[in-house]
Amino acid sequence: CCLDSGVGAARAGNLTFMVGGVEQEFDAAKELLICMGSNVVYCGEVGTGQAAKICNNMLLAISMIGTAETMNLGIRLGLDPKLLAKILNMSSGRCWSSDTYNPVPGVMEGVPSANNYQGGFGTTLMAKDLGLAQISATNTKTPVPLGSQAHQIYRMMCAKGYALKDFSVVFQFLREEESL
């Protein structure tokens, strides 16, 4: 079984469990999983829960990097970050990274960016999941150029001291990289 959404979702009981295995065993365990999470999804045979998790996290990493880049550009163009986030979230650019977990300090309360990127889903864990996605893509001969780029970015972040911060710290990483 694999879970998604991180520490905050665990505390709130909003985890998503992606489960692979024998369906009868899933049915027996589902009642317990529902106590801990709001979404419990049977994915198929053993390994499919992990596959769903790494696919989800690859998309999450890509969208977080895109949100961080977009917010950074908007700020540099003179836009207020709260206004830009509001516009994005009512427009076609809206995604979980912008409307629920914004990476810019001061835009949202209760997210890691509002707490010096503490808590949440660690950069090291994101780099690990992106590595698993890369291995899977290689094994299945699936092109994932954005997933590959995201993996490189998160690996660099780990090497440059961001390993223990929430993965949304990519916003801070990009801002610091541009000044070099």
Q: Say how far apart CA 41 and CA 8 lie, in whole Å.
A: 20
**Neighbouring C-beta atoms of residue 103, cutoff 10 Å:** 28
Q: Say how far apart CA 129 and CA 134 lie, in whole Å.
A: 9
Cβ proximity of 146 and 137 under 8 Å: no
Q: Calculate the dihedral angle through the C-alpha atoms of 19, 25, 30, 31, rounding to the nearest 10 degrees.
A: -160
Q: Say how far apart CA 55 and CA 44 lie, in whole Å.
A: 15
Cβ proximity of 66 and 97 under 8 Å: yes
Report the run of H or E that residue 71 belongs to, with start and end: helix 48-76
Q: Say how far apart CA 7 and CA 66 lie, in whole Å.
A: 23
- List, by residue number, the catalytic residues: 53
